[in-house]
Amino acid sequence: MEISAEKTKLMTNSATPIERKITVNGQELETVTQFKYLGAIHNEEGSKIEVLARAAQTATALAKLKPIWRDKNICLQSKLKLLHALVLSIFLYACEKWTMTAELQRKIQAMEMRCFRRLTACEAL
């Protein structure tokens, strides 16, 4: 097995910049500030960008399911199960790696409340 220098990137996770030169087969690895791996954005600044990207994807999924939210023949309990399975799972993908701050916690709670408000607003119609 060999490491591909063209496909391998270097990112540090430190408050102070670290000047390291790592070479593979004589080629220096490119240093990046962020990258996408398995659909999750990893960057030096923490999880804010990832949470905002997930919130946008969640809002899109929520909007696409509007006919289901408005359907009077589907009970609220079933809609909640669909919300958790189809919408909130998009938002919470790879959440175990998020670096939690007070600001991110507020954004997460706001997204969750936005989903529940959309569901109950359609239920009231």
Report in angstroms the alpha-carbon separations of 34 from 31, 50, 106, 109: 9, 11, 24, 25
- Check: CB of residue 9 under 8 Å from CB of residue 35: yes
What is the model's pLDDT at position 90? 94
pLDDT (tens place) for every residue of the chain, 125 residues total: 777 878 888 877 666 777 778 888 888 888 888 877 777 777 777 788 889 999 999 999 999 999 999 999 999 999 999 999 999 999 998 888 888 889 899 999 999 999 999 988 887 76
What is the model's pLDDT at position 15? 67
What is the model's pLDDT at position 9? 82
pTM for this structure?
0.70
What is the model's pLDDT at position 14? 67
What is the model's pLDDT at position 112? 93
All structural domains of the chain with their residue ranges: 1-32, 45-124
- For the CA atoms of 57, 63, 69, 71, what is the dihedral angle to 10 degrees? -140
Distance CA 122, CA 21 (A): 56
